[in-house]
Structure 1
Amino acid sequence: MDQFDLIVVGSGPAGRRGAIQAAKLGKRVLVIEQGKRVGGVSVHTGTIPSKTLRETALNLSGWRERGFYGRAYRVKQEISAEDLRRRLLITLDHEVEVLEHQFARNRVHHIRGKASFVDPQTMQVVKDDGEVLHVTGASILLAVGTKPFRPDYMPFDGKTVLDSDELLEIGDLPRSMVVIGAGVIGIEYATIFSSLDTQVTLIDPKTTMLDFIDKEIVEDFTYQLRDRNMKLLLGQKAEKVTREDGKVELLLDNGRRIVTDMVLFAAGRMGATDTLNLAAAGLEADNRGRLSVNPETFATNVPHIFAAGDVVGFPSLASTSMEQGRIAARVAVGAIAKEPPKYFPYGIYAVPEISTCGLSEEEVKERHIPYECGIARFRETSRGHIMGLDTGLLKMIFSLKTRRLLGVHIVGEGATELVHIGQAVLNLKGTVEYFVENTFNYPTLAEAYKIAGLDAWNRMGDIKSEI
């Protein structure tokens, strides 16, 4: 029986970052991955594939140039599923190669197989060839991620009714698609396929979507989706889904019937903990397979067992999962772990992108903070004109009392890159004067920060900060 300082189950963002961190501290680390290759959900079915698919769709469809050349413009007239998959495979191969090299360079042991607890410190690993291994760890980090929620009433067949994992393997691009679930995953795939001129209908029982995002940003985003003829059926539920003659028919709770080529069910995910035999370790998951942890150390109720990444729930981002894994690994091996900065960016890789950091206007109101907003539209920037942008919005919220930046919210081209300027100012407790007094490269979209800063400054008046 092999003994390790840290056993990591899963090699996604949390697992790989945690494993490498512990190895750099001189610890003996084992990573157990049940997939065919290392990388976890993030590399093979989640973050990297969906973002690669998005970039490929925008490039081949000529989406970014349509502002100049019209909606009929295409880089490639006939785009196939194989066109999308070709670039995806190249990207995935590169990601796996980099990760395997990182493991080798840091002397991280890793094996393929299904892991489950025998007791709180011992894990059984069943390899593909049937060989059974037993390993023990002074500490264990569970970074198993999530898998799509697949309700029994949905007639999944992997061709016309799919979950988000199966979507990457489709043989042909559908002419029409219904997406059930207006969460982040559903919205990302709905807008990606819409950019390929698939007729998309988005259905969700809730009357609103993306409730954690600033309402003004969601309103602008919603307008853009409707403007390109996406159907948003919010507050409606698909009660029955049937397949017939290569088509799918949906019956909604209001009696409406929809016939489509393909249905993507993206209404939630489940923690991939059902095969871990958690009871043997004294652990219990909730009804969605997620584990409860201390938010500062990521320790479970069993002191030497930790969990990080999507399996612990919100925010379920690759970026935050990496930090969670790093912190958990440091605590697990007895090293000091500093708390990460208060504000982190949230990115939604839809078409258009949305990214946010800090407080929304709704949260500022709830806290009764006197505030003012500054807004810039990308079409106000010279770079926006050069790129042919008619849409795009950057919004900043400032405290009237301290003049400090409270939140930055962006919808439009490059939002997930632009947000980091606001993130830095937030965490360094900067004020509106930073944006007014500093010079930004010209012409750039980042110049929108200065425009929005001036907009807020003009409304606030030239009053010195009380910091």
Structure 2
Amino acid sequence: MAVYDYDVIVIGSGPAGEGAAMNAAKHGRRVAVVEEQDLVGGNCTHKGTIPSKALRHSVKQIIEFNTNPMFRDIGEPRWFSFPKVLKRAEKVISNQVVLRTNFYARNRIDVFFGRARFQDKNTIQVSGTSKGTETLRAKNIIIASGSRPYCPSDIDFKHPRIYSSDTILKLSHTPRTMIIYGAGVIGCEYASIFSGLGVKVDLIDNRDRLLSFLDGEISDALSYHLRNNAVKIRHNEEYESVEGDSNGVVLTLKSGKKIRADAFLWCNGRTGNTDNLGLETIGLDANSRGQLEIDEHYRTSTDGIYAVGDVIGWPSLASAALDQGRAAAADMLSGDDFRYINEVPTGIYTIPEISSIGKTEEELTAECVPYEAGQAFFKDTARAQISGQPVGMLKILFHRETLQILGIHCFGDQASEIVHIGQAIMAQEGEANTIKYFVNTTFNYPTMAEAYRVAAIAGLNRIANL
């Protein structure tokens, strides 16, 4: 059995693993990456972030074509099947794999395709590689093995009409009706995608409002637009049973309701991929959701072992995972670029999309912070009118006395891009971090960015006469 020595071993090649491996390699360390799938990129590239966002983009284009009167000169509205739209996502996935494969090659990082398991805290056994079983040794090991959908045992996920958020990418037809169980970020995104394809969607939520971590006004806007696209949202519901037959699926809820649909998509929770790593041999225990406990330097309780990405839980975002991986490598190498990742913008790719950073109105009210809100509605901005994307708004929350920016909340086209302007200003020190920045700065016209100026003026006007 071949044995290879490295400075750092990274388990997983998703965003967290990639960030860790690249940062360690840039600091001159010899790095090995172990990836269970046949290609690099992790679930982010193959089953999660990239395919779902590529799907969303294609569906958004279909909606624009079918609803824009100008295109009626070209032809009648068109219906597109889910498999046809999925082909576009497959091209993006392929491009991402090529890009990321080159990253590893260029930085001379060895990638082992196989299943990793700890023999001790400095030794990993990789089974199923092209050479059989191989052994890797290193002083430091970073666990970045990602997550998978939580699939309860009382639901038959082998049934051809019952899917998880991973297996939905193998859907070979376009159902007329669909039940989506779980109204978190993934469930809401897929509700947007399928309703955009003309599928009648029942979205089952076990809470009393969608995405309760969002600002209430933004959550309400999402609910309105999903319902406007014929999504039936059912709050405060839990499943009793899910039964598939040759014609579809019947969902029985604990409230007594029964719902039938052509297909069922489970989007309720994820589990860290830690159960087959042999953590017991190095004194680590994952919690009931497969997640590992870490300190503020991404170190586990076992010396030399770090954990990043979905295996540590919040915020379970690709953007944060990449930075967590880089930070863990920086700490390991005593680098001066370490930072704990705690200010992370949300990016929710529904149609329209949502993004925010900082406090919500509900949080500021609970904390008795004297705040005010400035709003700009996209329907009133020239750029949104030109692009035909009038839905949405930008909201700036700021302190009434110091004018410090406390939160940025955006709903509408390009929200995940727009939020970064506010994020950059919030990160400044002193007077640079006030709403006056947006009033005293000249923005290109017409742009979506000028919504900041409109919202800032509106907010200052609300306190001008007090």
Normalised by the length of structure 1, the TM-score is 0.95
The question of whether the paired residues in 2 share the 8 Å contact of 1:392 and 1:413 is answered with yes
Tell me what 2:179 maps to. 178
Tell me what 2:222 maps to. 221
Aligned counterparts of 2:44 and 2:75: Cα–Cα separation in 1? 30
SS in 2 for 1:319: helix
The question of whether the paired residues in 2 share the 8 Å contact of 1:344 and 1:423 is answered with no
Change (3 A) 1:341 1:302: closer
The question of whether the paired residues in 1 share the 8 Å contact of 2:65 and 2:71 is answered with no
User: C-alpha displacement at 1:130, in angstroms?
Assistant: 7.3
Aligned counterparts of 1:70 and 1:453: Cα–Cα separation in 2? 36
How many residue pairs get aligned? The number is 460
Tell me what 2:445 maps to. 442
The question of whether the paired residues in 1 share the 8 Å contact of 2:66 and 2:78 is answered with no
**Which segments of 5 or more consecutive residues in structure 2 lack a partner in the other structure?**
none
| Cα shift readout 1:407-426 (whole Å, capped 9, x = no counterpart) | 00011111001110110111
**Is 2:344 aligned against 1:344?**
yes
Aligned counterparts of 2:33 and 2:65: Cα–Cα separation in 1? 41
For the aligned residue pairs, the C-alpha RMSD in angstroms reads 1.9
Aligned counterparts of 1:150 and 1:128: Cα–Cα separation in 2? 28
The question of whether the paired residues in 1 share the 8 Å contact of 2:272 and 2:291 is answered with yes
Tell me what 2:42 maps to. 40
User: C-alpha displacement at 1:172, in angstroms?
Assistant: 0.4
Tell me what 2:83 maps to. 82
Tell me what 1:4 maps to. 6
Tell me what 1:116 maps to. 117
| Cα shift readout 1:17-59 (whole Å, capped 9, x = no counterpart) | 1101000100000000010101101100011011011111112
Instruction: In structure 2, give the amino acid aligned to 1:39.
Output: G
Change (3 A) 1:182 1:270: same
Tell me what 1:461 maps to. 464
Aligned counterparts of 1:64 and 1:347: Cα–Cα separation in 2? 25
User: What pairs up with 1:272-291 in 2 under 5 angstroms?
Assistant: 272-291=273-292
User: What pairs up with 1:308-387 in 2 under 5 angstroms?
Assistant: 308-339=308-339, 343-387=343-387
Tell me what 2:28 maps to. 26
Identity %: 39
Aligned counterparts of 1:64 and 1:355: Cα–Cα separation in 2? 25
Aligned counterparts of 1:218 and 1:402: Cα–Cα separation in 2? 28
Tell me what 2:57 maps to. 55
Tell me what 2:306 maps to. 306
Instruction: In structure 1, give the amino acid aligned to 2:239.
Output: A
Instruction: In structure 2, give the amino acid aligned to 1:255.
Output: G
SS in 1 for 2:419: helix
Aligned counterparts of 2:319 and 2:183: Cα–Cα separation in 1? 22
The question of whether the paired residues in 2 share the 8 Å contact of 1:374 and 1:456 is answered with yes
Instruction: In structure 2, give the amino acid aligned to 1:171.
Output: S
**Which segments of 5 or more consecutive residues in structure 1 lack a partner in the other structure?**
none
| Cα shift readout 1:37-82 (whole Å, capped 9, x = no counterpart) | 01101100011011011111112x23377265699x9887231233
The question of whether the paired residues in 2 share the 8 Å contact of 1:5 and 1:333 is answered with no
The question of whether the paired residues in 2 share the 8 Å contact of 1:396 and 1:408 is answered with yes
Tell me what 2:158 maps to. 157
- Which is worse superposed, 413-422 or 328-337? 328-337
User: C-alpha displacement at 1:462, in angstroms?
Assistant: 8.3
SS in 2 for 1:374: strand
Tell me what 2:246 maps to. 245
Tell me what 2:392 maps to. 392
Aligned counterparts of 2:243 and 2:67: Cα–Cα separation in 1? 37
Aligned counterparts of 1:95 and 1:75: Cα–Cα separation in 2? 34
SS in 2 for 1:62: helix
The question of whether the paired residues in 1 share the 8 Å contact of 2:328 and 2:338 is answered with no
Aligned counterparts of 1:141 and 1:454: Cα–Cα separation in 2? 48
After superposing on structure 2, the runs of 4+ consecutive aligned residues of structure 1 that deviate more than 4 Å are: 67-71, 73-76
| Cα shift readout 1:141-177 (whole Å, capped 9, x = no counterpart) | 0000000111011121363110001011110011111
| Cα shift readout 1:356-402 (whole Å, capped 9, x = no counterpart) | 01111112122221110001110010112222234201111001121
Instruction: In structure 1, give the amino acid aligned to 2:436.
Output: E
The question of whether the paired residues in 2 share the 8 Å contact of 1:142 and 1:305 is answered with yes
The question of whether the paired residues in 2 share the 8 Å contact of 1:343 and 1:426 is answered with no
Normalised by the length of structure 2, the TM-score is 0.95
The question of whether the paired residues in 2 share the 8 Å contact of 1:398 and 1:407 is answered with yes
- Which is worse superposed, 127-136 or 197-206? 127-136
Change (3 A) 1:318 1:22: same
